[in-house]
């Protein structure tokens, strides 16, 4: 074993030898090493988080035809550090009537729930925090703590806008969790495991090829879970100013912001792990764990970039449309896809890999086509109904800005 083939274990073994050599009992030494490992991983994620601020600002600037931060350091890369200093020395205002303890706990929980996710992300075959056999559900469990932090923040800050934002956010979170769970079941079915590492290992063919629809639904549900545009009702600036973190200032707001960015990046990472083959890239990962980790990070950044692309391109959807979209479209579609995948997986199991891949892909393509045809038929009927009403009776539609006008446009 050397540093190149297994860096984490190499360093751990060296530390263990060092610590036991100093006369430390074995269990304490290994506990300490685990602790150091956690601290290193968490600090690395925080460092990436700081860097994400710069990436987000730079990318949004490009989407909006601006330059973005470009004064502090090369390409403005030192800007996020300047931001942190500013956040640290801002006065910390606690509003009247706030529940002090919960008010301070909420931002910590918010960032913690995101950091917790990195415990199970396999950065490389041998670099991962822990390979839980229930990894997929663990993602949802950590998300539950995030949901809780939103409610706590809103309730504790004693503000109407915050409560409205939190209620919207939680309604969206719980709704979109259903299609997300259903699409997470699809990689589980294909890999026969919930462990993140095993899901990656079994992706000789990326699951985005075997189940493209699932990848798409997962991405949409992830964007909704993140509360990003077009699903950013929780902080709809024009209606409720900032949503659940309206009363937070300084570093506490900073923690929410950091949590949001890291959450988006993390879901890019999970999208890569579940559908884009994780750290695998056509055999390149065999060069070494560090290369594999870089591959995963690059894929996570790609996922993050997709999320940003959607965010800065599509406009906000109304809450009734959003919930209808979820419960009447995504959820049934995800479950139908799950049933078809399980069935096709069982039927095609014995066949050659070419037939298997083609069968899976065709299932997805045909289902997608059928769905589009159904939607087209429904919208045609709706259009005809509206046009019929408008022309035959020569009657203006009851609400000029509702369906009638939009149906024509």
- Pick out residues in 85-104 that bind other proteins (CB under 8 A): 87-97, 102, 104
Q: What is the phi/psi pair of residue 132, to 5°? A: -65, 145
Binds other proteins by CB under 8 A, chosen from 1, 44, 144, 374 = 144
Q: Which of residues 145-184 bind other proteins (CB under 8 A)?
A: 145, 147-148, 151-152, 155, 158-161, 163-164, 167, 170-171, 174-175, 177-178, 181-182
Tokens of 406: 């939009």
CA–CA dist 165, 260 (Å, integer): 15
Q: Could you tell me which stretch among 51-59, 69-77, 249-257, 372-380 binds other proteins (CB under 8 A)?
A: 249-257
Q: Tell me how far, at minimum, the Cβ of 38 lies from other proteins, in Å.
A: 5
Size of the site for other proteins (CB under 8 A): 95
CA–CA dist 335, 264 (Å, integer): 25
Q: Indicate the burial class of 379 (C-beta count within 10 angstroms; 0-12, 13-18, 19 or more).
A: exposed
Q: Tell me how far, at minimum, the Cβ of 358 lies from other proteins, in Å.
A: 20
CA–CA dist 126, 205 (Å, integer): 21
Q: Indicate the burial class of 136 (C-beta count within 10 angstroms; 0-12, 13-18, 19 or more).
A: buried
CA–CA dist 57, 52 (Å, integer): 8
Q: What is the phi/psi pair of residue 353, to 5°? A: -65, -30
Binds other proteins by CB under 8 A, chosen from 130, 209, 310, 317 = 130
Q: What is the DSSP string of 254-306?
A: HHHHHHHHHHHHHHHHHHHHHHS-TT-STTGGGG-HHHHHHHHHHHHHHHHHH
Q: Does 349 bind other proteins (CB under 8 A)?
A: yes
Q: Tell me how far, at minimum, the Cβ of 54 lies from other proteins, in Å.
A: 18
Q: Tell me how far, at minimum, the Cβ of 123 lies from other proteins, in Å.
A: 15
Binds other proteins by CB under 8 A, chosen from 48, 53, 115, 274 = 115
Nearer to other proteins, 101 or 372 (CB): 101
Q: Which of residues 259-288 bind other proteins (CB under 8 A)?
A: none
Judge contact between 129 and 120, C-beta under 8 A. Answer: yes
Nearer to other proteins, 115 or 308 (CB): 115
Nearer to other proteins, 30 or 70 (CB): 30
Q: Would you state the torsion angle of the CA atoms of residues 77, 83, 89, 93, taken in this order, to the nearest 10 degrees? A: -170
Nearer to other proteins, 105 or 386 (CB): 105
Q: At a CB cut-off of 8 Å and minimum separation 6, what does 313 contact? A: 63
CA–CA dist 1, 11 (Å, integer): 11
Binds other proteins by CB under 8 A, chosen from 6, 55, 56, 138 = 138
Q: Tell me how far, at minimum, the Cβ of 281 lies from other proteins, in Å.
A: 25
Q: Which of residues 219-248 bind other proteins (CB under 8 A)?
A: 241, 246-247
Q: Tell me how far, at minimum, the Cβ of 143 lies from other proteins, in Å.
A: 7
Chain centroid to Cα 138, Å, comes to 14
Q: Which of residues 318-337 bind other proteins (CB under 8 A)?
A: 319-320, 323-324, 327-328, 331-332, 335
Nearer to other proteins, 59 or 317 (CB): 317
Q: Does 210 bind other proteins (CB under 8 A)?
A: no
Q: Does 185 bind other proteins (CB under 8 A)?
A: yes
Q: Indicate the burial class of 10 (C-beta count within 10 angstroms; 0-12, 13-18, 19 or more).
A: middle
Beta carbons within 10 angstroms of residue 357's beta carbon: 16
Q: Tell me how far, at minimum, the Cβ of 83 lies from other proteins, in Å.
A: 13
Q: Which of residues 60-79 bind other proteins (CB under 8 A)?
A: none
Nearer to other proteins, 347 or 372 (CB): 347
Q: Which of residues 28-47 bind other proteins (CB under 8 A)?
A: 31, 34-35, 38-39, 42-43, 46
Residue with tokens 């699903």: 231
Q: Tell me how far, at minimum, the Cβ of 408 lies from other proteins, in Å.
A: 24
Q: Tell me how far, at minimum, the Cβ of 2 lies from other proteins, in Å.
A: 24
């Amino acid at each position: 074993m050397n540093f190149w083939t297994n860096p984490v274990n190499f360093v751990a073994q060296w530390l263990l030898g060092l610590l036991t050599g100093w006369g430390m009992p074995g269990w304490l030494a290994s506990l300490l090493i685990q602790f150091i490992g956690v601290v290193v991983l968490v600090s690395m994620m925080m460092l990436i988080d700081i860097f994400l601020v710069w990436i987000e600002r730079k990318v949004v600037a490009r989407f909006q035809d601006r330059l973005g931060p470009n004064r502090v350091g090369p390409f403005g890369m030192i800007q996020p550090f300047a931001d942190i200093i500013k956040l640290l020395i801002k006065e910390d205002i606690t509003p009247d009537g706030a529940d002090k303890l919960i008010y301070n706990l909420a931002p910590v929980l918010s960032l913690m729930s995101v950091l917790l996710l990195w415990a199970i992300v396999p950065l490389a075959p041998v670099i991962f925090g822990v390979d839980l056999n229930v990894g997929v559900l663990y993602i949802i469990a950590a998300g539950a703590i995030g949901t809780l932090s939103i409610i706590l923040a809103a309730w504790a800050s004693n503000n109407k806008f915050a409560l409205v934002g939190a209620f919207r956010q939680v309604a969206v979170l719980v709704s979109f969790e259903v299609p997300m769970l259903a699409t997470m079941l699809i990689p589980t079915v294909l890999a026969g495991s919930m462990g993140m590492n095993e899901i990656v290992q079994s992706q000789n063919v990326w699951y985005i090829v075997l189940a493209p629809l699932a990848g798409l639904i997962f991405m949409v549900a992830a964007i909704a879970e993140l509360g990003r545009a077009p699903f950013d009702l929780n902080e709809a600036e024009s209606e409720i100013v900032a949503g659940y973190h309206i009363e937070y200032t300084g570093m506490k707001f900073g923690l929410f912001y950091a949590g949001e960015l890291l959450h988006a990046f993390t879901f890019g990472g999970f999208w890569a792990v579940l559908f884009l083959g994780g750290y695998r890239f056509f055999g390149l990962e065999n060069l070494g764990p560090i290369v594999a980790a870089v591959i995963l990070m690059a894929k996570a950044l790609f996922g993050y970039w997709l999320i940003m692309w959607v965010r800065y391109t599509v406009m906000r959807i109304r809450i009734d449309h959003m919930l209808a979209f979820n419960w009447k479209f995504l959820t049934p579609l995800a479950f139908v896809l799950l049933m078809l995948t399980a069935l096709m997986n069982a039927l095609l199991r014995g066949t050659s890999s070419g037939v298997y891949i083609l069968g899976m892909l065709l299932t997805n393509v045909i289902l997608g086509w059928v769905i589009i045809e159904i939607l087209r038929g429904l919208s045609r009927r709706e259009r005809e109904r509206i046009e019929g009403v408008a022309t035959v009776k020569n009657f203006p539609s009851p609400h000029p800005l509702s369906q009638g006008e939009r149906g024509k446009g």
